[in-house]
């Protein structure tokens, strides 16, 4: 039999009457992600997704890499199916895992018998297979407490499966079960991580980026589009709404006190982002804000900023240390792009002494000097839609 993949479900197993909908969505997502790598049969049984190549032309390594980025699976393993027979199981282990086993200093066998019709229980399977392996590999010690290598045997409904240690999956919930969100995507480290983390909860993303040409360059825009492409490896294809923001920033510069530049700019961003989000069926906004990281991210400033919108605003990074955020950015492969030296619009007209504890009434009074609705309408008309998908 061919090598296949087993994707073990995470928190989906805790769902109640709607569990089937989550499972079906995960299978659909897996099938879609496997399509570039050949013909695969995808099915689900006993809280496990089976991914089986249908011919020898399938790109197993490419498909295996993609399995690591599919939300909904908590662990994944490559395995060899065989008949539900001790001789067949032993032969499959030698053929499939023999080299890894021979290179180990010690081993043990862990078995799981899901098919209760099989005559031996899990402990008996481990004892029988372990004894045979100990004879076949006398130079590898048996260590049931802290082995160098573990052989896994799973006796399931249709076959037995042998494999080595599983690898972590992406976790979370299948993309598409949690609705849609509009993520404010800058060129920094934080916002791509925030988008990734909300996508992990099964949420589809619509990205919104504010672009202030000529104060920010075309390279800065391309940097953001590349970040979006890298995010789609996990969250699937998305549209980036590139909003022309230059006129708004110049109007703020010309009519508002300098200390209010940042807070008023962010209020415009939230208003525009909400309208785009609602137009694309999103139920919330997501930002990369982190409490206390910069002047615009105090409790008072965030309260004033978010006072202009009427849908929930989520902040997945709100209590995280920068080191934690960087660690995730490195793992999802956005960090190196984020640190490219192309500035985004948040660095344009940055005040020397921004208001850190603004009062809503004072901000509204300053804002009244601007033609708010007209500026928003022209910015929305000057929005470019760019569809992105993963190209790796």
DSSP string computed for 3-38: -EEEEEE-GGGG--TTHHHHHHHHHHHHHHHHGGG-
- In this model, does residue 347 exceed pLDDT 70? no
Residue 263 has a pLDDT of 93
pLDDT confidence of residue 391: 62
DSSP 137-168: -TTSEE-SSS-SEEEEEEE-SS-EEEES--EE
Q: How far apart are CA 334 and CA 338, in angstroms?
A: 6
Residue 367: closest CA among 246, 258, 260: 260
Mean pLDDT taken over the chain? 93
Cα 108 to Cα 390: distance, rounded to the nearest angstrom: 40
Largest CA distance in the chain: 86
Contact call for residues 71 and 175 (beta carbons, < 8 A): yes
Q: In Å, how far from its chain's centre is CA 330?
A: 13
Q: Which of 13-17, 85-89, 211-215 has the highest mean pLDDT?
A: 85-89
Helix axes of 322-331 and 190-199: crossing angle, nearest 10 degrees: 70
Average pLDDT over residues 154-182: 95
Start-to-end CA distance of the chain, whole Å, equals: 29
Residue-level pLDDT at 213:
87
pLDDT of residue 392 exceeding 60, the answer is no
Least confident piece of the model among 34-48, 194-208, 336-350, 356-370: 336-350
Q: SS3 of 387, please?
A: strand
How much is the pLDDT for 249? 93
What is the rounded CA–CA span in Å between residue 346 and residue 239?
21
Q: Kindly report, residue by residue over 32-65, the tens digit of the pLDDT.
A: 999 999 999 999 998 999 999 999 999 999 999 9
**How much of the chain is in helix, strand and coil states, percent to nearest 5?**
45, 20, 35
pLDDT of residue 341: 80
**Residue 63 is encoded by which pair of tokens?**
């498909």
Burial of 323 (0-12, 13-18, 19+ CB in 10 A): exposed
Map 169-234 to HEC letters.
Answer: CCCCECCCCCCEEEEECCCCCHHHHHHHHHHCECCEEEEEEEECCCCCCHHHHHHHHHHHHHHHHH
In tens, the pLDDT along 95-121 reads 999 999 999 999 999 999 999 999 999
* Residue 337 burial by Cβ neighbours in a 10 Å radius (0-12, 13-18, 19+): buried
* Residue 354 pLDDT grade (very low, low, confident, very high; cuts 50, 70, 90): confident
């Amino acid at each position: 039999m061919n090598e296949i993949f087993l994707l073990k479900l995470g928190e989906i197993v805790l769902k109640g009457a709607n569990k089937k909908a989550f499972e079906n969505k995960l299978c659909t997502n897996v099938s879609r992600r496997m399509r570039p790598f050949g013909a695969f049969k995808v099915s689900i049984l006993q809280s496990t997704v089976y991914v089986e190549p249908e011919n020898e032309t399938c790109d197993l390594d490419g498909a295996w890499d993609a399995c690591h980025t599919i939300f909904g699976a908590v662990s994944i393993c490559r395995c060899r199916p065989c008949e539900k027979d001790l001789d067949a199981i032993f032969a499959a282990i030698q053929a499939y895992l023999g080299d890894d086993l021979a290179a180990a200093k010690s081993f043990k066998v862990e078995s799981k018998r899901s098919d209760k019709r099989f005559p031996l229980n899990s402990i008996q399977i481990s004892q029988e297979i372990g004894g045979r392996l100990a004879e076949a590999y006398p130079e590898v010690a048996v260590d049931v407490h802290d082995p160098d290598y573990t052989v896994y045997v799973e006796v399931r409904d249709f076959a037995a499966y042998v494999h080595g240690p599983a690898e972590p999956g992406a976790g979370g919930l299948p993309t598409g079960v949690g609705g849609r969100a509009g993520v404010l995507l800058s060129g920094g480290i934080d916002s791509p991580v925030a988008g990734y983390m909300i996508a992990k909860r099964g949420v589809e993303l619509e990205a919104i980026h504010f672009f202030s040409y000529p104060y920010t360059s075309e390279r800065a825009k391309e940097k953001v589009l590349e970040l979006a492409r890298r995010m789609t490896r996990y969250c699937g294809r998305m549209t980036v709404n590139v909003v022309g923001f230059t006129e708004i920033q110049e109007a703020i510069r010309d009519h508002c006190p300098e200390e209010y530049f940042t807070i008023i700019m962010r209020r415009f961003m939230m208003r525009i982002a909400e309208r785009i989000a609602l137009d694309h069926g999103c139920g919330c906004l997501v930002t990369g804000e982190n409490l206390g990281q910069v002047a615009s991210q105090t409790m008072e400033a965030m309260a004033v900023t978010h006072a202009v919108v009427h849908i929930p605003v989520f902040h997945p990074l709100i209590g995280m240390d920068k080191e934690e955020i960087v660690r995730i950015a490195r793992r999802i492969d956005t960090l190196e792009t984020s640190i490219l030296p192309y500035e985004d619009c948040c660095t344009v007209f940055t005040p020397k002494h921004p208001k850190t504890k603004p009062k809503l009434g004072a901000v509204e009074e300053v804002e009244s000097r601007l033609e708010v609705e007209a500026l928003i309408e022209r910015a929305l008309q000057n929005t470019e839609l760019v569809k992105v998908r993963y190209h790796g």
